[in-house]
Structure formats: C-alpha cells, structure tokens
Amino acid sequence: MTVNIRRARPGDEADLVAMVRELAEFEHAAEECTVTETQLREALFGDPPTVQAHVAEVDGQPAAMALWFYNFSTWDGVAGIYLEDLFVRPAFRRHGLARTLLSTLARECVDKGYSRLTWAVLDWNSNAIALYDAVGGRPQSEWITYRVSGEELSALAAGPQTSPSEL
C-alpha cells in the first residue's frame, strides 16, 4: 500500500466534493450538504482562498481528505489551523490515514509557528474521539459552540444597524 499525502490541487474538486457528501451521509445530514464543485474550486483556489485541503491517496486513489482554514488566537497573537472536515473513506479506514493527516496539519502549525490545531467532533463518533484522545487532543468542555445560519442568519443581518456614535 503506497500512501501519498499532498495539498489539494485544481482537478481534485470532484473527489473532495464526493468525500464531503460521504461525510455528510455518515453524519446523518446528507440533505444539508449542498456544496458544488464550483463552490469548492473557488474556495480552494480563488483569490484569496478561503479553505485549504490535503488529500490522502492510497495506490493513487483518493482515500481521505482534510479541509481546513486559518484562524487566529488573539491571546497568543498568532495564527492556528481549524480542521473543518476530516474524512477517510470506509475501505481505507484503520490504516493510519486520519492520524497521518492530523500529523501533517500539526507539522504545518509547528513549522509556521502557529499555536494550535483545533477541531470539533460529534459526541457520538466514538472512533474519532478515541483517535483524538490518542493523539493528545483535549475536549474544550468549557466552551459551547454556537452557530447562526439560514433564516436566522438573514434575520440577524437585517437587524438594527447602528453606528458607534449611536450607541
């Protein structure tokens, strides 16, 4: 088995979108996944790119991916990486691909002087949690993740627009 971990390049969009959709199905949310190849191409290779990706190939086949973006720690004063999606196709699981992708991102952080690698995991995904515990990840239980999207996002955007002088 020959494994190659590399940065995504133009032409990978179809495989990456397929894996994102496979991940959405695994997470019981396939109907919520609407990403297109065009959207992902623009996000990965637009000016500026808004997401980064690594692809793991096994014997030349796309087997896994990590989609991530830069974040910033105001307390540390340096950037970090937020891992949005890590997915290994079922046929390639239990071969160390997820750990290798995490290691690749950790190396990116260390090499560039970033202070952290952050991600979230669904509370029922015991296999992923076991891996994350094994690599030294620690749950941040004191933080609660919030999200606003859909109609609520539109309503918030349409809400009161006040300037600092009106406060």
Residue 109: how many CB atoms within 10 A of its CB?
Answer: 16
- Neighbouring residues of 89: CB distance < 8 A, sequence distance ≥ 6: 19, 22, 62, 63, 64
**Whether CATH 3.40.630.30 fits 3-139:** yes
User: What CA–CA distance (Å, rounded) separates 127 from 93?
Assistant: 11
Print pLDDT tens along the chain (167 aa): 899 999 999 999 999 999 999 999 999 999 999 999 999 999 999 999 999 999 999 999 999 999 999 999 999 999 999 999 999 999 999 999 999 999 999 999 999 999 999 999 999 999 999 999 999 999 998 988 899 999 999 999 998 876 666 65
φ, ψ of residue 95 to 5 degrees: the values are -120, 10
Q: Which residue has the tokens 């950037």?
A: 79
Q: Give, in order, the Cα–Cα distances in Å from 79 to each of 49, 57, 131, 137.
A: 16, 28, 24, 18
